[in-house]
Amino acid sequence: MQKKYLITVVGPTAIGKTALAIEIANHFKCEIISADSRQFFKEMAIGTAVPSKDELEAAKHHFIQNISIFDDYTVGDFEREAIAKLDELYQNNDFAVLVGGSGLYIDAVLKGFDDFPDIDISVRENLIAEYEKNGISYLQEKLKEVDPVHYEKVALENPQRLMRALEVSIGSGKPYSSFLNVKKNSRNFTPIVIGLEADRELMYDRINKRVDIMVESGLIEEAKSVYPNKKLNALQTVGYRELFSHFDGEFTLDFAIEEIKKNTRRFAKRQMTWFRRTENVKWFDFTTPTKEIITFVENTL
């Protein structure tokens, strides 16, 4: 059987992953699987930096704006659909590209998603009620109590991740971390993982400029359009939460924009922490010529 390869591009937000993925896909005449969990949503184009029309036409992308914020869509759903799409693509090509900054979704494709037990829905409902009553600090303290191992690794500012870990821990009676890395599904491809990096100050400057471009491109209007549904899971996202606080009268617009920049920089730092732990990543400075990266890939085959 001919070997299949999944060329994977990871790194922090605003580093240039999309442009590199397109060039790699064009070189190998293959298609792209997006693993950016917020670019899935049709209603969130500007705030999630969805690839431009020209970029989407330059190479065939999958899982871009394919669902709605009203859809119930999990990382497990993505894993199943992405693997099915790869199986389809590999019928005609030995190569495919996976690109994104959502580490959990990248891991789900590369290694398989952990096998969690079914949990009674009342557990999640109780956690949501506690979160709305007591805020995120309640979730943080509760997770520290029931699963100190996962507490050290999880994004503590992300209420959905906290509630998911608590849901499994409370509902199963076992720490969420005890289910991680227990079961991995076999894959019919060989991953080649490329990481893009930059000096921190340079990376932060790129993030600040990207936020300014988003605002100029209509981010405020986009956030207003989804504001009535601000409690949906999909909208618990940097770039939207801060503007919702502005609409609620808690922040001035200028302060909200500065908060978006600050929280995006924090997000980028967490992304790098995640991807630094990912196995077998070959890191390149983001200014490295694409030709050099493609030569590395070809030499790895």
d(CA 164, CA 124): 8
Q: How far is CA 134 from CA 44, 98, 245, in A?
A: 28, 39, 17
Q: Is 262 annotated among the ligand-binding residues?
A: no
**Per the structure block, which two tokens stand in for 107?**
């891991």
Residues 211, 217: Cα–Cα separation, whole Å: 10
Mean of pLDDT over the chain? 92
Residues 96 and 5: their CA atoms lie apart, in Å, by 7
Q: Was 12 annotated as part of a binding site?
A: yes
pTM of the model: 0.81
Q: Which two tokens stand for residue 131?
A: 């979160």
Burial class (CB in 10 A: 0-12, 13-18, 19+), 186: exposed
Above 80 in pLDDT, residue 213? Answer: yes
- Say if residue 237 is exposed, middle or buried (CB neighbours under 10 Å; 0-12, 13-18, 19+): buried
DSSP secondary structure of 80-126: HHHHHHHHHHTTT-SEEEEE-S-HHHHHHHHH----PPP--HHHHHH
| pLDDT, position 222 | 98
Residue with tokens 């705030």: 47
Q: Is 135 annotated as a binding residue?
A: no
Q: Is 191 annotated as a binding residue?
A: no
SS (H, E, C) 41-77: ECCCCCCCCCCCHHHHHHCCEECCCCECCCCCCCHHH
pLDDT (mean) for 135-163: 91
Tokens in use for 132?
């709305």
Please tell me whether 16 is known to bind a ligand.
yes
Residue 120 · residue 171 · CB < 8 Å? yes
Q: Domains in the chain, please, with CATH? A: 5-113+185-300 (3.40.50.300), 121-179 (1.10.20.140)
Q: What's the DSSP call for residue 8?
A: E
Per-residue pLDDT tens over the stretch 71-83: 988 888 899 999 9
- Tell me: pLDDT of 181 over 70: no
pLDDT at 277 over 90: no
State residue 185's pLDDT score. Answer: 67
Q: Provide the H-helix boundaries in 218-283.
A: 219-226, 241-247, 253-276
Decide: helix, strand or coil at residue 32.
strand
Q: Are 280 and 193 contacting, i.e. CB atoms less than 8 angstroms apart?
A: yes
d(CA 162, CA 156): 7
Q: Is 234 annotated as a binding residue?
A: no
- What local confidence, expressed as pLDDT, does residue 122 receive? 79
Could you tell me the two tokens for 139? Answer: 């979730």
Q: Tens digit of pLDDT for each residue in 249-268?
A: 999 999 999 999 999 999 99
